[in-house]
Every structure is written in structure tokens, then in C-alpha cells.
Structure 1
Amino acid sequence: MTGDESTPFGAPRRRQHRLLGWSMRLIGTFLSIFGALFFVAGFSRMRTIFSPLGTTYPLWYRVLIVGTIVMVGVVSLLGGRRLRRRGRRHSVPVLQTMADAKSSPYVLYLRPFTSDVTGATMPHAFSRFRGVGGSLVNTSTRTVEEQVSRSFGTLARVIAVGQPDEALPLPGAARLYLPLDGWQPTVASLIDDARLVLLAAGTSEGTLWELRQCLRRRAPQTLLILIYTDETEFQAFRKKAEVIFQEEVEFLRRGSKADRRPPSLPAYPPFSNPHRVKWLPVPRGYIRFDADWTPHLIRLDPTSVRGWTEEGRHRRLNREQLLPFMDIVLRELWAAEDAEDQADANRCTTVAELESVLRAMRSDGATDETPLSFLVSGTGRFLAVRDKRDTAAGSGDGQRDPGGTTEPIVRPGGRAPFTIELPLLYAEEILRRRRAGGAADVDTLQLEVSARGRLRGVRHHSGGKAAGKPPATADEDGAEH
């Protein structure tokens, strides 16, 4: 990215109030419980409407009473669901600067703003009601975007660009707000450093530009296309994407000398039994890519599974169709990251080199609390050490580079190098623990960082700079796990 990473982004039109949001969620929960009780009570009394025994009320009066109870329950249920969703909009993280966005690993969610209508829906509110007529109650109020963010949030924090004119961010991914003009460099920088890019299929100019940038900047295993559209709209996206693939064929051949044809997205497969379509999952399908950009499409087919209820069929659909596909996506992603990790292993410092640097700093008068800035590769490898005292004093850049390399490591799909500050005593303790764990002079160190950017531990790799398989990891307390 060009420019200052501390430059503030925009903000939604309305100010977020967390207390107001939690109050709305609490009231919504109460309304949902209240509505569920009324709804069930109303249906349980339906059988007494046409039974004249034990009552002197006329038929029209009994129908009115039961109908009123049921309607109060329905209104309370739906109102509670919407109020809970509205309240969560006050708690969505809004990123203020690029530094905030890149402070920890992230999954980038790119979509045309028109798909926010789909992303803000709460599917399956009436799925069981359609099937058996007795349970409108659905306690989940997660939107489509929240479900997507929850699924991929195990990899890293999910962030997305918010609509510049929206009052409050939609629940789901963390938001950053960019101007209508000049947003491309920022999005391109986010594409560079994301762990995984989720791109919703669409035919808008912005979505097609994002697809082109992903082809240029990403490893193919780190791009996943989400399909929210029907067959007609997907066919239009497929045709425009094919043109982009042909124009970017030189980038797709990156790393291969073969003169290969550009890939073509597969067509939308038909349902196994179109006459049984009662509901459609959202997203409706996904496209992943092999290492040579060969695409693979899965269309979730609810007509191929059976169950007693709609919810049961939905769970079986996920178990039999979606989960096997996502297992492949994750394995391919981890394989790509392992390749980047191996490349970084040839550039990082060894345990002996780090110990030598820390001893030299002690000799120069560094104390236990002296802050050290460690340059770490996108895969967590220690690359170099920076003494912040030297930087503050203005004596050069303060760089201690025993490994002989500090230039940026940028590869398609890789996260950019970052820095982490540790006091000298803590860095020495890490080395002592790794030595106690069997680390040799030629071994290398790698950080274990959580999805929220928290240091979970440090591991060492046997075999020197051409490190192979990793051994056990030591957490912050020194325990092996």
C-alpha cells in the first residue's frame, strides 16, 4: 500500500452505541421468549375452538381470542429477531486505520454492495413452520454474512469494506469505510496481505476489478468465490470472468513455464431433482482453485438429501456436500502456507544467531526491559532484530540482521512481514525454553499467533534454515502442547 497506514478511514453515518446495542439485544431476547410462549399457547388452544364443552363463549369469540394470541406471538418473535439483529450492528468492529486492519491475520470478504441485501437476511426463520406447522420459533438470528464470518473466523478475523452511505455496519465482518474515489490502492493492499480472500460473484465493475487483482496477487489456493446468485446472473459473471482469465493469462502462468490455456469457470450444475426444490441454501455454491488455477465448483443441492424436517435436511446438506468441499479448501490453503513457510525458513535467523545478537546487546548496556523489535515474516519466522534504543537515538536504523536479509518478503497469497515488540528478558527466556526443548544452534524459531494477534507461543524447527517438519510448540507458560 502506498501512503501512511495511520491515515484514518471513514465511519458510518450514525455513531455506534454499545450500551444501546446490548439493550436492544436484551429486549429482543425477551420479546422472542415472550412471543414463543404466546405462539405455542395459541396453537395449543386451537383444538378447543370448535369444542363447545366447558365454555359458554360463542365461536367467533373463541376464534378471535386464539387468533390474537397467535398474532401477538408472531409479531413478538419477528420483532425480537429484528431487534436483536439491529442491536448487533452497534457492536460490529469498525477499523479506523490500515494499521488496525493489518494488526493481526485476517480473511478478506469482498462482495458487491448489492449482495448486502442477501447477506443481511436471517435464513430458515420459517423452515420448520413450512414443514410441520408448529414451530415458528428459531432462536438463531445470525445473518448470512454472520454465518460466513463465523465459518471462516476460525482461520482469522474476517474484515470487509462497508458501504460509504450506510447508517450502521451490518452484523458479520469487521468494517472499514473507504471513499468512493481512490479506494482501489487500499483494497489491493488488503488483497496482498490477507490469509484468504472470499469473493462474492457479481458483474459490477468493482467486483470484476477485484477478481482481476486476485488473479494477479493471490496464490490460487487462497481465493474462494462465493455464489449468491441464480443461474442467469452466475452465467453473466462466468462470461465476464472468462474474458478476465484470458487477459490475465500471463499472471496465471506465474511460476510455470508451460504454455497453458486460461481456465474457464464451470457451468452451474442442475439440481438432481428440480421438482423437489422448496428452499435454497445461502450461499448457493462455492468455487475453489487448484495450484494451476483449475477451478472446481460445488452447487449445494438440497434436492439430493432427505430428512424429517427442513432443518434436518439442511444439516445433512452441510455434512454431505459442504464439509468435504471445505476440507479440501483448508488443506490446499495450508499447503500453500507451508510452501511459503519453507521459503521463509531459508531467510530467517537461527537460534545461535539470535543468542549472539542478544549477548551483544547485553554487552552494549541493554537491561531486562530494553524493548526489542523483531522483524517476523508473514508465516511467523524470525528474520531480524531491531534495538529500539538505537532507533530512538537516531543512530541509524538500529537493525541487527544476523540472517543477512531484511528486504520485504512479498509473494502471491502471503502476508507481509510485521514486527512484534518484546523486552530483552522475555526474548532471552524464549531462547532458554527452546534450548531446554532441544533446539540446536542451526534451528530456527517461529511464532504462534492467534487469529486476534495474540502471541500463543514459539516453536523451533529442526534442520537449520532448510527446516523441515516442526516439533512440539511451547506456549507462553513454557508447557509443551
Structure 2
Amino acid sequence: MARDKARSGRSVPPAALFTVGGWVLRVVGLGCAVAGFARWKSASRPGPYFEPPAWWQTYVLFPLLLTGGGLLFLLGQQAGVQGRRRRAAPVRPAELAARSFVLYLRPFEDDRRRAGLEESRARGIGSVFSFLYVSGLTEEEQLTRVLAPVAPVVAVGEPGERLPLAGARRFYLPLDDWQDTVSQLMGRARLVVLTAGLTAGVLWEIGEAARKLPPERLVVLVPMDPEAYETFRARAGETMPRKPDGKPQLELPEWPADSTGKRVHERVFTGAIWYGTQGEPHFVRLGLPTRRMASRAGLRIALREGLCPVIDRARPGRHR
């Protein structure tokens, strides 16, 4: 199929090979890990009718089965991601004219972080099977699942990328002629979700969103610490259009005091900004209580809880 070819023209392995291979690796890996763990536990507590295995089985073979099985399981999840990338069909901007969609904007270098599987945060005995606590979805896929009740998510693809990433459907624009198309799509999007960053493209996008959109149709995701956020806030304030009184068209609030006691996800999104119907900003921290950190859907839960008001308001059938 055409979409199974690299954008450079070279052919790539078909999606089915990665999808089926991924499931095989996961089943085999899980079986090895469970067998290794069960034999190791039984060897540590021998009964009257059970002959203990040799030391090399207890301390070498069974741990290797457990760790090797976990690695095979993770490889299977990565293969599944590659299969979904090969099934992803790009969309043309013209096709979006008659569709409802969420527009996802971010620095292209952000893709490298969002394309990976979420890091396991299992603790205690759960860390033995930590690979089971890693979602088989990439960080971007989890974000698009959260936004799915509003509309399908689309994003500008990085020019020259070999395959679209799993998650938002990509459309491609020339490097020297993209701003007009993005501006038009902002105006038609049901919701615009923008990842904060310091690139010239992101600073232009947030300024254009301030000029083009009612604030309640914008969400700003914050993937940075307080110091980096303050730099972004200052840079965006310099380039943002102004109201008649000289204030920025869109208010970016200060970093909120942490009074929730939540542990914040690392290397993912640390916060999100959304706006009320009168333009008042709400900065929510994205974190989970310790007891829920081991969840396979930890990132999805944090995003869903933090963005619940704006997602509920933007659902189809709700007043915009």
C-alpha cells in the first residue's frame, strides 16, 4: 500500500508483520516471565516432596527467564507501536473542511519524547513485573485518547519524517508556507491543544491563537519545570498581540503553588492551562497520588482529570 512506503520513497515492512510479531513477543515474554518468577519462588520455599533445583537454576536461569521475558514483552509493545505507525494514513488539509477536529500543535522535537512508551512507576513487589505497568500506547496516543470525545486529533507532520507517528493523524505542509494553513485550521478546529515551547514556531502559534480564538477553545500543555515555564511565559508575552489597554491578548498565569501533595509525572506533561468562558485562565498540575502511580493508564488518568472541564465543554452537542 502507498502509505506503507517511506516518505523518501523506500519501502518499509508492512504493518501486519509488526502487529502480529508484537503480539507473539508479548505472549512469549509474559509466559517466560511468569514461569521464571514461579520457579524462583517455589525454589526459595521447597516442600517435603520437592527437590530444590541446582543453584545455577535458582540464581541464573530463573532470573534470566524473568528479565528476558520482560524485555520480550516490551519489544512486543514497541513492535505494536511500529505497526500502528505503518497503518496511519496522512490526511490532507482540504479534507478537514467538512470535519470536526482537534488541532494539536507542538515543537517537532517534542515528537521524540511523545513517541515513546510511558515509563513504569511500579514500586515494591510490583517492580518485578514493571513491564506490565507500561501502557502499550505512546504518550501521544494517550493524549489523543483523552481528546477523542471532543473530535479526532490532527497535527502537522514533521517534513521529511519516514513514517507518521502513532497518535494524531498527520498532514504535511511546506517549510516555507505553513502559517496561513495553520491559522485557517485554528479557526475551524473545535479545540486547539498547544504544547508550550521556546521555538519561533510555537511562539507564533500561541500569538496567533490569542488573536484568532476565543480563549475557551485553547489548551496549553506544559511539559517543563517552573523556571522553563517562566521563560516561555515571558517570551510569549513579548510576541503576543495586545489589547487596547496594552495587556497581552491572552493571559498566561504564574506557576501555581503545589498544595495538592501529588507526585508529578516526569518527562511528560507537568501541567495544563485552559480558559473559562470569560477568558479566565486555569493552571492545573498534572499528577497522581502515590497509590495510583503504578497504573498502566497513569498519564491518561492525569490528563483526563486535569482537562475534564474543558473536554466536557467542547464535546459535540455542547454550546461552543
Is the structural similarity TM-score above 0.5? yes
Query: Is residue 269 from structure 1 mapped to residue 256 from structure 2 by the alignment?
Result: yes
Amino acid at match of 1:76: L
Give ranges in structure 2 of 5+ residues lacking alignment: 1-5
User: What SS does the aligned partner of 1:30 have?
Assistant: helix
Query: Is residue 249 from structure 1 mapped to residue 242 from structure 2 by the alignment?
Result: yes
Percent sequence identity is 29
The aligned residue for residue 329 of structure 1 is 310
Task: Assess if the C-alpha contact under 8 Å between 1:50 and 1:59 holds in 2.
Answer: no
Distance 1:90 1:261 in 2: 46
The aligned residue for residue 39 of structure 2 is 45
Aligned alpha-carbon RMSD (Å): 3.2
Shift in Å, 1:243: 1.9
Q: Pick from 203, 208, 212 the counterpart of residue 207 of structure 2.
A: 212
The aligned residue for residue 297 of structure 1 is 283
Structure 2 CA distance for partners of 1:13 and 1:268, relative to 1, 3 Å: farther
The aligned residue for residue 286 of structure 1 is 272
The aligned residue for residue 311 of structure 1 is 295
Task: Assess if the C-alpha contact under 8 Å between 1:300 and 1:322 holds in 2.
Answer: no
The aligned residue for residue 73 of structure 1 is 69
Give ranges in structure 1 of 5+ residues lacking alignment: 1-10, 254-258, 340-481
Distance 2:202 2:246 in 1: 26
User: What SS does the aligned partner of 1:311 have?
Assistant: coil
Shift in Å, 1:51: 6.2
Task: Assess if the C-alpha contact under 8 Å between 1:224 and 1:286 holds in 2.
Answer: yes
Query: Is residue 173 from structure 1 mapped to residue 168 from structure 2 by the alignment?
Result: yes
Structure 2 CA distance for partners of 1:42 and 1:24, relative to 1, 3 Å: same
Structure 2 CA distance for partners of 1:130 and 1:213, relative to 1, 3 Å: farther
Shift in Å, 1:55: 4.0
Aligned pairs for 1:414-425 within 5 A:
none
Shift in Å, 1:239: 1.1
Distance 2:225 2:195 in 1: 13
The aligned residue for residue 319 of structure 2 is 338
User: What SS does the aligned partner of 1:268 have?
Assistant: coil
User: What SS does the aligned partner of 2:102 have?
Assistant: strand
Query: Is residue 128 from structure 1 mapped to residue 112 from structure 2 by the alignment?
Result: no
Distance 1:336 1:293 in 2: 21
Structure 2 CA distance for partners of 1:150 and 1:331, relative to 1, 3 Å: closer
Distance 1:23 1:335 in 2: 37
User: What SS does the aligned partner of 1:160 have?
Assistant: strand
Amino acid at match of 1:282: V
Q: Pick from 91, 94, 102 the counterpart of residue 90 of structure 2.
A: 94
- TM-score w.r.t. the length of structure 2 is 0.84
Query: Is residue 225 from structure 1 mapped to residue 200 from structure 2 by the alignment?
Result: no
Shift in Å, 1:37: 1.4
Q: Deviations over 1:285-333 (max 9, x none)?
A: 111123443321101233xx35276229949964xx953x534214554
Distance 2:25 2:45 in 1: 31
Q: Pick from 62, 65, 77 the counterpart of residue 58 of structure 2.
A: 62
Shift in Å, 1:171: 0.1
Amino acid at match of 1:205: A
Size of the alignment, in residue pairs?
Answer: 311
The aligned residue for residue 202 of structure 1 is 197
Q: Deviations over 1:82-114 (max 9, x none)?
A: 11111110111202x332233411111000011
Structure 2 CA distance for partners of 1:316 and 1:174, relative to 1, 3 Å: closer
Task: Assess if the C-alpha contact under 8 Å between 1:12 and 1:164 holds in 2.
Answer: no
Shift in Å, 1:81: 0.9
User: What SS does the aligned partner of 1:206 have?
Assistant: helix
Task: Assess if the C-alpha contact under 8 Å between 2:192 and 2:217 holds in 1.
Answer: yes
User: What SS does the aligned partner of 2:170 have?
Assistant: strand
Task: Assess if the C-alpha contact under 8 Å between 1:300 and 1:317 holds in 2.
Answer: no
Distance 1:170 1:84 in 2: 12
Q: Pick from 235, 242, 251 the counterpart of residue 240 of structure 1.
A: 235
Shift in Å, 1:207: 0.4
Structure 2 CA distance for partners of 1:309 and 1:179, relative to 1, 3 Å: closer
Distance 2:299 2:145 in 1: 16
The aligned residue for residue 178 of structure 2 is 183
User: What SS does the aligned partner of 2:154 have?
Assistant: strand
The aligned residue for residue 433 of structure 1 is none
User: What SS does the aligned partner of 1:89 have?
Assistant: helix
Q: Deviations over 1:432-454 (max 9, x none)?
A: xxxxxxxxxxxxxxxxxxxxxxx
User: What SS does the aligned partner of 1:88 have?
Assistant: helix
